[in-house]
Chain A
Amino acid sequence: VPRAEIVALASSAAVILAVTEAFRAWLHVTNPTIAALSYLLIILVVAASSTLRVAIVASVVADLCLNYFFMPPVGTWTIADPQNVVALFAFLVVSLVASQLSATARASAREAIARQEELRRLLDLSRDILVSGESPDAIGALAAVIARRFDLDFAAVCLPRETTWTVSSAGRLPVRLADRELTAAFSEAERRVEFDARTRSYAGHHVLTVEGHAVRVVPLRLGTKPIGLLAAAGREVEVGTMDALAGVAAIAIERGQFLHERKEAELTRRSEELKSALLASLGHDLRTPLTAIRVAASNLESPRLGDTDRREQTDVILTEIERLTRLFQNILEMARIDAGGVGAESRWAHPSEIIAAARNQVDQTLREHGVAVAIEQDVPVRLDPRLTATAVAHLLENAAQYAPAGSVIDVGARVTGEGLAIEVRDRGPGIDAQDLSHLFERFYRGAAAKGRGVGTGLGLSIARGLLAAEGGRVWAENCADGGARFTIVVPAASKQPEAEGSVSA
């Protein structure tokens, strides 16, 4: 007998005796009807607040008190008037029925509250699942959400894999589930699909005892097909709720798989798109150099060519081979960026070195342009000079492709609190408004480049990719007095002139 019941029993008996004493000693109530009604009131209160057992015992005590203290002759167990026997019996029956009714009402109210509580948990759980995105550990996250929402000490989602089980668990109890027991439970769930209307659940619930903990195991079903098992330990969860929970979990698992597959499909599609864009671009960029080299090479074989023409043909071949080399380098760089193979290696370097290295990389392309370099403070900065220089080289190449031959390209470098800022400004036609937002997209060529053999559509996207690897950024704008300006900013520590002597690099 639970303690709470003993306490309730003692206190209800005490109240009955106290009321009896009050009626007899102080209020001088002798009318048995008034006493019976008062007792009935007490019994109703007891039945409503405690268990049926306590209410029954209280009813018997009240009945005895009524007989002893109020039925004439008072003070004896004898009942003189046979009518009073009926009255006592009726009192007992009424109080027992009232207790029973009250207890039933209380039980169903408690059940309703419990069900509502579980429903709320289920709703919370489904909301958690709906807002969860696709993540590598979606199943582990699901187990954690179940454990949290249902206040479980242990929750695990178990999925069969060929011969073993993948168990993702959460909760404070470190329970290990044996593959053999899981397999047994799963094969039973596969064999039997019985619906129990009373508990609103399917057959196949098991309770395993693992390391002294009772672990409930429920099949995860999509429709009626089991796809795995849900294990839970700790707070008691109603059987029907457990089944509903398993259903929600099964849907969550399926949703996770769908999301994953969709992402894969999207990735495949994007890589296909990229491949065909690459092929189209290659087709375009290879055609002219190959034609020119082929024709120029056979011209060289021809005896009908003068010396000047001959030198010209050699030059054509060298220029076009240079172009193919750049294209090849660009594709390699792009592939490296795609594969995540670009790592920044920081070291101290002067802005002037970086700009010189960049010019050096594209000196062939820059042959017909002047380059004016202005460096505000040539103090050492700590960044990856190789990546930065290559990015600047792509900006220079881009400028040379769009600015008219003979014009000057301005290159400016500035060391700021943010890092190193380098500007490349050309005297070309500027950037078309519709191109500005797409400029750094791979294979994108501005309106001015369409139909021209200019650029590969790769340079600027490579510049952006390289800078991203060292946390830098690049943007483009049109200058008020014509031409385009590209600016890159690379975060970097710098040595201000006064501190230069104190740090050795």
Chain B
Amino acid sequence: MSPEPRILLVDDEPSIQRAVGPLLRSRGYQVDVAGNGTEALRMAAERPPDLIVLDLGLPDIEGTEVCRRIRAISRVPIVVLSARGAEADKVNALDLGADDYVTKPFGPEELLARIRVALRRVLSDEKAESGQFAAGDLTIDYDRRRVVRGGAEIRLTPKEFELLSLLARQHDRVLTHRAILKAVWGPNAVEQPEHLWTLVAQLRKKVEPDPANPRYLLSEPWVGYRFATGDSDGSKGRG
């Protein structure tokens, strides 16, 4: 990655382009702007960005479709901009490979935090190719199926370990309920979120320092869960 990460901003509203563009530039990012889906796909292919900020309401192609097509050719992090109330679109985009979302109307810090987290995930992915993962005082050894917190080993059931490693392997990304249920319980379980709620509660009791105020396993209300590694994870202001 170049010292100045390149962000592709995809939004058809001139005002959003004119306000968010300078915002990102002033924080040291290079910014390309696309006004519709076709242009976005072309630009993403011609000059691959380090991150894409994608509005879901585009005039030509559905935002979720843009998401799917980009995912087919690249693993570039995608942060989608979605409307409050349009939960289905948001979940769709996440299922189709988007990494995170910000709900309009959003504040600048919220967007910047999402961008930072998504970029950091890419960096840590590039560093860590080993079978180990560490966040805070938590260490996960994927190969030996061991989890250690503050030097003490935590005993997890196979399902608990499966869920934890699923979230940790894609840390700092939002995984939808659907996607998690499908990965851990299989395609027949996608309509039974209660499995997931129970398992997350059990897991939090074991791995979280304070299960009532989780710092690793964060809920994204009505959407899914994420494994948070860092400080500025922007989980504030969500709800």
Which residues, 300 to 328 on A, are CB-close (under 8 Å) to B? 302, 304-305, 309, 312-313, 315-316, 319-320
Partner of A453, one of B12, B22, B62, B84: B12
Interface digits, A72-98 against B, CB 8 Å rule (1 contact, 0 not)? Answer: 000000000000000000000000000
Closest to B82 in A: A287
Q: Are B15 and A287 in contact (CB under 8 A)?
A: no
Is B106 engaged at the interface, CB distance under 8 Å to the other chain? yes
Minimum CB–CB distance from B111 to chain A (whole Å) comes to 8
In the complex, chain A residues whose CB is within 8 Å of the CB of B163: none
Closest to B85 in A: A283
Q: Are B22 and A320 in contact (CB under 8 A)?
A: no
Q: Are B84 and A312 in contact (CB under 8 A)?
A: no
- The size of the chain A interface, using a CB distance under 8 A, is 28
Q: Are B22 and A451 in contact (CB under 8 A)?
A: no
Given that A451-B58, A453-B13 are contacting pairs, would A287 and B22 also be in contact in the complex, using a CB cutoff of 8 Å? no
Is B134 engaged at the interface, CB distance under 8 Å to the other chain? no
Is A292 engaged at the interface, CB distance under 8 Å to the other chain? yes
Minimum CB–CB distance from A293 to chain B (whole Å) comes to 8
Is A478 engaged at the interface, CB distance under 8 Å to the other chain? no
In the complex, chain A residues whose CB is within 8 Å of the CB of B106: 291, 294
In the complex, chain A residues whose CB is within 8 Å of the CB of B108: 294-295, 298-299
Given that A313-B19, A316-B18 are contacting pairs, would A294 and B13 also be in contact in the complex, using a CB cutoff of 8 Å? no
Q: List 9 A-B contacts (CB under 8 A).
A: A284-B83, A287-B83, A287-B104, A288-B16, A289-B15, A295-B16, A312-B18, A312-B22, A453-B13
In the complex, chain B residues whose CB is within 8 Å of the CB of A296: 15, 18-19
In the complex, chain B residues whose CB is within 8 Å of the CB of A287: 83-84, 104-105
In the complex, chain A residues whose CB is within 8 Å of the CB of B193: none
The docked-state distance in angstroms from the alpha carbon of A188 to that of B25 is 89
Is B59 engaged at the interface, CB distance under 8 Å to the other chain? yes
Is A436 engaged at the interface, CB distance under 8 Å to the other chain? no
Which residues, 6 to 22 on B, are CB-close (under 8 Å) to A? 12-13, 15-16, 18-20, 22
Q: Is the interface of A mostly helix, strand, loop or mixed?
A: helix
Is B3 engaged at the interface, CB distance under 8 Å to the other chain? no
In the complex, chain A residues whose CB is within 8 Å of the CB of B107: 294-295, 298
Is A290 engaged at the interface, CB distance under 8 Å to the other chain? yes
**Using a CB–CB distance below 8 Å, which chain A residues touch chain B?**
283-284, 286-296, 298-299, 302, 304-305, 309, 312-313, 315-316, 319-320, 451-453
The docked-state distance in angstroms from the alpha carbon of A296 to that of B18 is 8
The docked-state distance in angstroms from the alpha carbon of A287 to that of B84 is 9
Q: Are B16 and A292 in contact (CB under 8 A)?
A: yes
Interface residues on B, range: 20 to 34
The docked-state distance in angstroms from the alpha carbon of A216 to that of B4 is 99
In the complex, chain B residues whose CB is within 8 Å of the CB of A319: 15
Excluding A295-B19, A299-B22, 11 further A-B contacts by CB distance (< 8 Å) are A283-B83, A287-B105, A288-B16, A292-B15, A292-B19, A295-B16, A295-B108, A296-B19, A302-B26, A316-B19, A452-B59
Is B23 engaged at the interface, CB distance under 8 Å to the other chain? yes
Q: Are A291 and B104 in contact (CB under 8 A)?
A: yes
Q: Are B22 and A313 in contact (CB under 8 A)?
A: yes
In the complex, chain A residues whose CB is within 8 Å of the CB of B83: 283-284, 287
Given that A294-B108, A299-B108, A451-B57 are contacting pairs, would A288 and B22 also be in contact in the complex, using a CB cutoff of 8 Å? no
In the complex, chain A residues whose CB is within 8 Å of the CB of B104: 287-288, 290-291
Closest to B62 in A: A451
In the complex, chain A residues whose CB is within 8 Å of the CB of B20: 295
The docked-state distance in angstroms from the alpha carbon of A451 to that of B62 is 8
The docked-state distance in angstroms from the alpha carbon of A298 to that of B109 is 9
Minimum CB–CB distance from A322 to chain B (whole Å) comes to 11
Interface digits, B58-83 against A, CB 8 Å rule (1 contact, 0 not)? Answer: 11001000000000000000000001
Partner of B22, one of A293, A305, A452: A305
Which residues, 93 to 131 on B, are CB-close (under 8 Å) to A? 104-108, 111
Q: Are B26 and A288 in contact (CB under 8 A)?
A: no
Partner of B15, one of A286, A288, A309: A288
Given that A294-B107, A295-B20, A453-B13 are contacting pairs, would A283 and B84 also be in contact in the complex, using a CB cutoff of 8 Å? yes
The docked-state distance in angstroms from the alpha carbon of A288 to that of B11 is 11
- Which 6 A-B pairs give the minimum distances between C-beta atoms? A292-B15, A290-B105, A291-B105, A295-B19, A304-B26, A296-B19
Closest to B37 in A: A451
In the complex, chain A residues whose CB is within 8 Å of the CB of B22: 299, 305, 309, 312-313
In the complex, chain B residues whose CB is within 8 Å of the CB of A299: 19, 22-23, 26, 108
Partner of B59, one of A298, A312, A451: A451
Minimum CB–CB distance from B92 to chain A (whole Å) comes to 15
Minimum CB–CB distance from A364 to chain B (whole Å) comes to 13
The docked-state distance in angstroms from the alpha carbon of A291 to that of B13 is 11
In the complex, chain A residues whose CB is within 8 Å of the CB of B26: 299, 302, 304-305, 309
Minimum CB–CB distance from B44 to chain A (whole Å) comes to 20
The docked-state distance in angstroms from the alpha carbon of A6 to that of B106 is 105
Closest to A298 in B: B108
The docked-state distance in angstroms from the alpha carbon of A298 to that of B59 is 28
Minimum CB–CB distance from B85 to chain A (whole Å) comes to 6
In the complex, chain B residues whose CB is within 8 Å of the CB of A315: 18
In the complex, chain B residues whose CB is within 8 Å of the CB of A320: 15
In the complex, chain B residues whose CB is within 8 Å of the CB of A286: 105
Minimum CB–CB distance from B18 to chain A (whole Å) comes to 5
In the complex, chain B residues whose CB is within 8 Å of the CB of A302: 23, 26
Minimum CB–CB distance from A226 to chain B (whole Å) comes to 53
Identify the interface centre among A283, A302, A315, A453: most chain B CB within 10 Å of its CB.
A453
In the complex, chain A residues whose CB is within 8 Å of the CB of B62: 451
Identify the interface centre among B15, B18, B23, B62: most chain A CB within 10 Å of its CB.
B15
